[in-house]
């Protein structure tokens, strides 16, 4: 039997029944279990303002707002999008809630003693928010290797060998990792991307400011904090051809540890901030680029993956910053956020 594990859902017999393939919750239902579901959807960051009563509690009615929230979860998770909460959907929500609000360990009394804030963007916790993952070109090594694909593979590898031909070192490295077929997770040069792509640098600053808004509301103590949502951005060719070909679109979020102290009535903040990055390197969905006069389409790049000549992989990255400031008026400068300093 499936077991619900999030602190919000544990103890609800009705939700546990749904998880065990009992009667789904659906439009028109009205019950305390629906109120818990509404709270869970709100905790995951979906709009639930219309369902909230003046006293802050959920109204427990399975209305259009909850249905839309459920549909978004289902769409994100690749489930059937019908707005009804059955076993698969409740288990997915429960899993995300556990990831977002992991069970608290014993040794954090200072952090749990005081009421903790939640802002629109950040919350207490150390888990990662859910983020989209492209399924890619299909199952790796699921088709026999053809002579034509081998010739094309060799042609692409020749391009990578010509330093001037490929648009930049990172694009070449990522392509090479794909062609070298390990499928292993690849750590990108995120510091380099932030330096080279002005808009990527902006995203780091904005993400830190969102975290800062949350941190400045924290009481004294040591706190793990994390984004409530992953956001996405895109490296445009006009900003960096290298990073455009290396990555394109990507997801990012922030997390870290904040130590807050109060001296003479002034709050001091000592923060280890991590800017996290994720992307899936793949070739699918009608993609096509021209490099060094050679048109590279997913017709054969995706085929390499399916024929076991290349393998899609996860790209991850992380930037760490140790930032200290005092009071709300002496906020860290953009340079403190963006520039790597020896520690």
Chain contacts with other proteins (rule: CB under 8 A): 46-47, 65, 68-69, 71-72, 75-78, 120, 130-135, 198-199, 203, 206, 231-234, 236-239, 244-251, 279-281, 283, 285-289
User: Taking the complex as a whole, how short is the minimal distance between the CB of residue 245 and other proteins, in angstroms?
Assistant: 6
Q: Closer CB to other proteins, residue 134 or residue 157?
A: 134
Rounded least distance, CB 183 to other proteins, Å:
17
Q: For residue 330, how far is the Cα from the chain centroid? A: 30
Nearer to other proteins among residue 136 and residue 256 (C-beta): 136
Pick the closer one to other proteins by CB: 32 or 78.
78
Q: For other proteins, which is the closer residue by CB, 59 or 284? A: 284
CB of 290 to other proteins, least distance (A): 9
**Minimum CB distance to other proteins, residue 24 (Å):** 21
Choose between 32 and 132: whose C-beta lies nearer to other proteins.
132
* Token pair 């680029």 in the structure block, residue: 289
The least CB distance from residue 251 to other proteins, in Å, is: 6
Residue placing its CB nearer to other proteins in the complex, 83 or 111? 83
User: Judged by CB, which is closer to other proteins: 72, or 95?
Assistant: 72
Spell out the long-range contacts of 62-69 with Cβ–Cβ below 8 A and sequence spacing 24 or more. 62/25, 62/26, 62/27, 62/28, 62/29, 62/30, 62/34, 62/37, 63/27, 64/27, 66/34, 66/37, 66/38, 66/41, 67/27, 69/38, 69/41
- Least separation in angstroms between CB 208 and other proteins: 13
How many Å apart are CA 173 and CA 160, to the nearest integer?
9
Q: How far is the CB of 78 from other proteins (least distance, A)?
A: 5
Residue 173 CB, shortest distance to other proteins, in Å, is 13
Closest to other proteins by CB, 260 vs 315, is 315
């Amino acid at each position: 039997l499936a077991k619900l594990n999030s602190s919000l859902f544990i103890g609800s017999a009705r939700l546990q029944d749904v998880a065990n393939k009992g009667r789904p919750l659906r439009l028109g239902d009205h019950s305390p279990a629906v109120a818990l579901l509404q709270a869970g959807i709100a905790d995951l960051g979906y709009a639930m303002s219309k369902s909230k009563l003046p006293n802050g509690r959920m109204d427990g009615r399975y209305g259009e707002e909850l249905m839309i929230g459920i549909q978004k979860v289902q769409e994100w998770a690749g489930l059937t999008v019908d707005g009804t909460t059955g076993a698969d959907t409740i288990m997915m929500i429960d899993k995300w809630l556990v990831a977002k609000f992991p069970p608290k360990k014993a040794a954090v009394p200072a952090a749990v003693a005081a009421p903790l804030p939640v802002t629109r963007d950040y919350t207490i916790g150390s888990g990662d928010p859910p983020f989209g993952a492209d399924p890619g070109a299909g199952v790796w090594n699921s088709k026999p290797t053809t002579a034509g694909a081998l010739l094309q593979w060799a042609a692409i590898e020749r391009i990578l060998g010509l330093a001037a031909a490929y648009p930049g070192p990172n694009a070449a490295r990522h392509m090479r990792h794909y062609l070298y077929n390990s499928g292993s997770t690849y750590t990108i040069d995120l510091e380099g991307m932030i330096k080279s792509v002005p808009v990527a640098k902006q995203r780091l600053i904005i993400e830190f400011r969102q975290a800062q808004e949350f941190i400045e509301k924290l009481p004294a103590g040591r706190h793990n904090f994390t984004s409530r949502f992953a956001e996405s951005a895109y490296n445009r060719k006009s900003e960096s051809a290298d990073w455009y070909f290396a990555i394109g679109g990507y997801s990012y979020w922030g997390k870290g540890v904040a130590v807050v102290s109060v001296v003479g009535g002034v709050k001091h903040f000592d923060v280890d901030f991590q800017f996290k990055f994720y992307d899936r390197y793949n070739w699918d969905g009608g993609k096509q680029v021209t490099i060094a006069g050679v048109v590279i389409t997913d017709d054969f790049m995706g085929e390499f993956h399916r024929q076991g000549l290349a393998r899609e992989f996860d790209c991850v990255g992380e930037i760490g910053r140790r930032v200290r400031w005092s009071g709300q008026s002496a906020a860290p400068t953009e340079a403190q956020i963006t520039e790597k300093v020896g520690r």
